[in-house]
Amino acid sequence: MELKKLKCRWRITLLLSFGFFLTATGLQAQNETTQQETINLTGNIKDNLGTNLEGVTVRDITSGKTVISDADGNYKIEASKGDSLIASYIGYQDYRWQFSDRIIVNIVLEPISGGLNDVAVVGYGRQKKISLVGAQATVKVEELKQPVANLNTMLAGRISGLVGVQRSGLPGSNSADIWIRGISTFGSSGSGPLVIIDGVQGRNTNDLDPEDVEDFTILKDATATAVYGALGANGVIIINTKRGSASKVNLMANYLEGVTAFTKVPEMADAETYMNLRNEAMVASGFTPAYSQDYIDSTLDPNANHYVYPNVDWMKTLFNNLSHNRRFNFSARGGSDNVQFYTSLAYYEESSLLKTDGLQNYDAGTKYQRYNFVSNVDMKWTKTTKFSLGINGYISQLNEPGSGATSAFSNAMSVSPVRYPVMYPGNLVSGIAEGSTPSPNPWADITQTGYKEAFQSKIATTAQVKQDFDFITKGLSANVLYSFDTYSNNNQYRKRQRSVYYLNQSDPYNDDGSLNLEQVISGVDVLSYDKDYSQDRQFSLQGQVNWARNFGDHHVQAMVVYSQLSQPNPTADSYQDAIPTRQQNYAARATYSYLDKYFAEFDAGYTGSQVFSPENRYGFFPSLGVGWVLSNEKWWKPLSNVFNFFKIRYSNGFSGAIGGSRFDYITTITDGAKGTNFGRVGSSVNYSGINILHYGANVKWAKSHDQDVGLEFNVLNNKLTFIVDWFQKYRTGIFLTRANFPAFAGLQYQPDGNYGTTINRGFDATVELLPIPLTDKLSISFRGTFTYNKDKLLENSAAPYEEPYMDPRGQKILTNYGYIAEGLFQSEADIANHADQSGVGGIPRVGDIMYKDLNGDGLINVYDKTYIGHGDVAPLTFGLATNIQYGNWYVSAFFEGVQGADRELTGNARSPFSGSDDNNIFANAVDRWTEDNHATNPFYPRLAYGTVPNANNNVTSTWWIKDISFIRFKTLNIGYNLPNKIFKNTGFKNATIYFDAVNLCYWSPFKLWDPEMNTGNGNTYPNTRNMAIGFKVNFD
């Protein structure tokens, strides 16, 4: 009989995993019959502030039955008289009672002193939050559910210690770069955090739909990350997806429809401004003006022939004002005492703001579509054995122009408004004369070059067995986890190059009055076909043993883990690439606590990787942390009215990082080297020989020594909480190419090795006010985060510099290298009295930038360069979230800010007319130095035309380092919870109508483009503003 039951449960497990929503009806057959008469016990559960609590676990200890409270805090459970019951919820004290005669029991749960989250996620498990001695932080998952494609674009400012920058808003590429406690490395070493999803590394935060996330935690110091060994130096992100519950099946549907628009479109010069300023620049550089006044007047004349006198606003030509996005998610959650499940299907769609050409018989629009799915099943095989199976993944499709969508903005900015019209009559592609500097026709590039389709799919599977060994010794358990992930990318290209025509400006009309067009590029109208394909796979195995035991007032907990990871390359085209990437990790943790007052924890990771030679393959990374909850001391009672909870902690330990690539420790040679045949003067005859391609290096793990001091305290009856951490990260052994071997050493290449050292100090803080009732209907809460870090490069193995200020050691990691600008030359006397600046870019002229003579030798040259600016990753990040609840209405707003970041302007943003290829210029080019306006601090120095006349100003200097600090109104959420009486006898439990907005506006001293964009000249697709209306409903 038991064997039959076990087989039946295996079948149910497979059906739940791959059948998704078909399980809802099958699970109902799992209900067990009761041995005695049962009665429905009902009630409502609130917190101490009167707020209904959803997700409270109500368990009949006697029978083992469990239910979960709904969104209104209501519960219903079958129980027999005399049964003992318990209501439990993370962050609150348990409520216990015995069922007598009352069939309606309303419950008020009191928060636990020390924080809302009684249990916290840690590496390879969970711990009581009060016992944590490492630095970590969480974010409320509801804050991440916004109308955007990627989860990590919502993280910056919401979690203390996390720094994020969204570089672009292009659909399919609108992710964000994230760092934990700033940047502590450089060179080829990665600086991003390790991501763990459902216990498995190598997965991506953007692979998930936000509705499927149960919790989101970041680990910041060595005590928190040491169990990940040589993978945790940059911090760790842990995400767990939702799982089932022993309750009636709950169905949820969520749909939103939104519009998108650019946060900031670079303002380019109109035709009149462009022609006048170009003439000014050319005259100042000794050239004849490019445009006569008649030509300018004709261009501005609305009745003129604009095929001959073009006047094009390329931004308006290429981009719409609005586009759209939508999201849909449908999930089912429930189960019985033996089997619980969560399944979900989601769809996301977003189109870019690029326009399309309706005359074409194909779709070149940029549109991103993604289908996500999750199926998590937990099943009790026996009373002590639990089996879990999880499958999640996505299928996505990106359609874009044949030439790609990323170049649209750069093309729009590389063509002046008067260079040529959008198209010539007959839908002919306009271009430039043969022999001129080429630049793509921006409109033709996105509409006439065909299209590209990119198909991606990923499936991540995780199987886990957990065994309770209490029958051997109390508190002993073990689990084994196996995962298999596969990813594929299939690109299909249907492209073409159409013929391009040029209008002969000297003779624009034929005898019959038609345009005198010359073909400069011969193309085709037929679309070609091409494709490429790639695939990745990952196998992971983990074995873990846990033990936890109380001995009176002492609590001891221990864990050991073994894990291995293999990443083969199925599409490798060489023997070396076909060798799988492999890792091994051994981890251990031991914790001790006494009376919830004194805590100690030891963590260690022992990691191996094939990146390194056999003798250097493994690294050991230990950590120790201690904590003291002063508020649990008896002598603290006089202070408890002010500080309801007070805790200090300290951690000191090591974590590691991998740098370089596989087999860097092996010297490689080539037999195809060539050189001059000596003895033959002027001969071009070469000989072949053996040459070294790469010098094998004694490469090891980079090691980060982390220290953290944390302070946590609560006031106002635990309603206002503070968490503050001071940290230091000292990293050694950073992998980079050595730069101090002189040429006479005879080496073909500079060798690699562990030569880099950095230090990063700072602090981060979280301040949170729990909901406070102002009236019987109105309550308010807020959460603020603050992160500050200051990094410094200590060693990069460079040779000694001629001057101390030329040495990057002691400077910020991302700083720029250039001249210090002291203003503009306002007269010939200024030039004569200043150091000789001809070594920068020729003889300077009045209106040019004046540079500082750092070494005082009277010459401005490369020996006067130094390190300037801070880099585009801000040392200071902060966020503020406010929530207001009034009856069934709620409003939440979030502001994100950064301070201290800057960016160097390049290209057209720095030198409007440095080339002769008719690039467009920014509208703010009117803010410049002129003979009539000797401004001391204009945006631009004098305008010049050509490379040589601009040489003095077109160099890296503090003049072009611009502050990109900002405060952004990141999100706004307004919603209304429909009254439950509306859904009486309908099968619906509750519903919400809401409005969500992302990137509403920002304030910044930088005005040219969105300050988060990763560009020095504004030529990338901007970030977008999103506004959506949605409807969410729960039903049985």
Using left for φ > 0, alpha for ψ between -120 and 50, and beta otherwise, residue 634 falls in: alpha
Closest CA to 409 of 259, 521, 264, 260: 264
Name residue 31's amino acid.
N
Q: Are residues 130 and 213 in the same domain?
A: yes
Q: Are residues 231 and 136 in the same domain?
A: yes
Q: Are residues 192 and 222 in the same domain?
A: yes
- What confidence category does residue 680 fall into, taking pLDDT thresholds of 50, 70 and 90? low
- What confidence category does residue 654 fall into, taking pLDDT thresholds of 50, 70 and 90? very high
pLDDT score for 686: 53
Name residue 707's amino acid.
Q
Q: Are residues 180 and 210 in the same domain?
A: yes
Q: Are residues 90 and 129 in the same domain?
A: no
Q: CA 540, 543, 549, 555 torsion: positive or negative?
A: negative
Strands 236-241 and 194-197: parallel
pLDDT score for 419: 92
- What confidence category does residue 988 fall into, taking pLDDT thresholds of 50, 70 and 90? confident
Residue 73 lies in a domain: yes
Cα dist from 304 to 245, 313, 527, 1010, whole Å: 72, 16, 36, 36
Give yes or no for residue 870 having a pLDDT over 80. Answer: yes
Q: CA–CA separation, 944 vs 848, rounded Å? A: 10
- What confidence category does residue 46 fall into, taking pLDDT thresholds of 50, 70 and 90? confident
Give yes or no for residue 10 having a pLDDT over 50. Answer: no
Give yes or no for residue 975 having a pLDDT over 80. Answer: yes
Residue 178 lies in a domain: yes
- How many other CB atoms are found less than 10 A from the CB of residue 543? 14
Residue 943 lies in a domain: no
Is the pTM for the entire model greater than 0.75? yes
% of the chain with per-residue pLDDT over 90: 64
Which of residues 3 and 537 earns the better pLDDT score?
537
Q: CA–CA separation, 368 vs 353, rounded Å? A: 12
Strands 476-495 and 450-468: antiparallel
pLDDT score for 589: 97
Residue 58 lies in a domain: yes
Secondary structure of 149-211 as H, E, C letters: CCHHHHCCCCCCCEEEEECCCCCCCCCEEEEECCCCCCCCCCCCCEEEECCEECCCHHHCCHH
Give yes or no for residue 148 having a pLDDT over 60. Answer: yes
Q: Are residues 225 and 129 in the same domain?
A: yes
% of the chain with per-residue pLDDT over 70: 91
pLDDT score for 781: 92
Q: Are 779 and 46 in contact (CB under 8 A)?
A: no
Q: Are residues 239 and 123 in the same domain?
A: yes
Closest CA to 928 of 276, 415, 410: 276
Instruction: Mean pLDDT check: name the lowest of 106-120, 487-501, 634-648, 911-925.
Output: 106-120
- How many other CB atoms are found less than 10 A from the CB of residue 298? 17
Over residues 288-297, the mean pLDDT reads: 95
Cα dist from 777 to 10, 69, 108, 129, whole Å: 50, 22, 18, 31
Strands 866-868 and 876-886: unpaired
Q: Are 47 and 53 in contact (CB under 8 A)?
A: yes
Q: CA–CA separation, 897 vs 824, rounded Å? A: 33
Write out the H or E segment, with its range, that includes residue 237. Answer: strand 236-241
> pLDDT tens-digit profile of 83-120?
888 888 766 777 888 888 788 889 988 766 444 346 88
Closest CA to 960 of 902, 918, 1010: 902
Instruction: Mean pLDDT check: name the lowest of 423-437, 446-460, 559-573, 888-902.
Output: 423-437
Cα dist from 970 to 24, 147, 169, 263, 835, whole Å: 38, 12, 14, 11, 48
Q: Are residues 173 and 217 in the same domain?
A: yes
Q: CA–CA separation, 369 vs 590, rounded Å? A: 46
Which of residues 458 and 31 earns the better pLDDT score?
458
Q: CA–CA separation, 682 vs 979, rounded Å? A: 92
CATH number (domain holding residue 81): 2.60.40.10
Closest CA to 790 of 182, 164, 160: 182
Q: Are residues 147 and 49 in the same domain?
A: no
CATH number (domain holding residue 212): 2.170.130.10
Q: Which domain holds residue 96?
A: 37-110
Domains of the chain: total: 3
Give yes or no for residue 873 having a pLDDT over 80. Answer: yes
Phi, psi values for residue 871, rounded to 5°: 100, 165
Q: Are 571 and 194 in contact (CB under 8 A)?
A: no
> pLDDT tens-digit profile of 336-379?
889 999 999 999 999 999 999 988 889 999 999 999 999 999 99
Work out the mean pLDDT of the chain and round it to a whole number: 88
Instruction: Mean pLDDT check: name the lowest of 173-187, 540-554, 960-974.
Output: 173-187
Over residues 149-158, the mean pLDDT reads: 87
Specify the DSSP class assigned to residue 11. H
**Per-residue tokens: 273:** 């401004």
pLDDT score for 689: 59
Q: Which of 194, 213, 244 is the last residue of a domain?
A: 244
Q: Are residues 91 and 158 in the same domain?
A: no
Give yes or no for residue 381 having a pLDDT over 80. Answer: yes
Over residues 403-428, the mean pLDDT reads: 91
Q: Are residues 222 and 149 in the same domain?
A: yes
Q: Which of 176, 210, 244 is the last residue of a domain?
A: 244
- How many other CB atoms are found less than 10 A from the CB of residue 578? 12
Q: Are residues 42 and 70 in the same domain?
A: yes
Give yes or no for residue 19 having a pLDDT over 60. Answer: no
17 contacts: CB under 8 Å, gap ≥ 6 = 375, 377, 389, 391
Residue 183 lies in a domain: yes
- What confidence category does residue 917 fall into, taking pLDDT thresholds of 50, 70 and 90? low
pLDDT score for 394: 97
Q: Which of 110, 144, 171 is the last residue of a domain?
A: 110
pLDDT score for 5: 42
Name residue 790's amino acid.
K
Residue 234 lies in a domain: yes
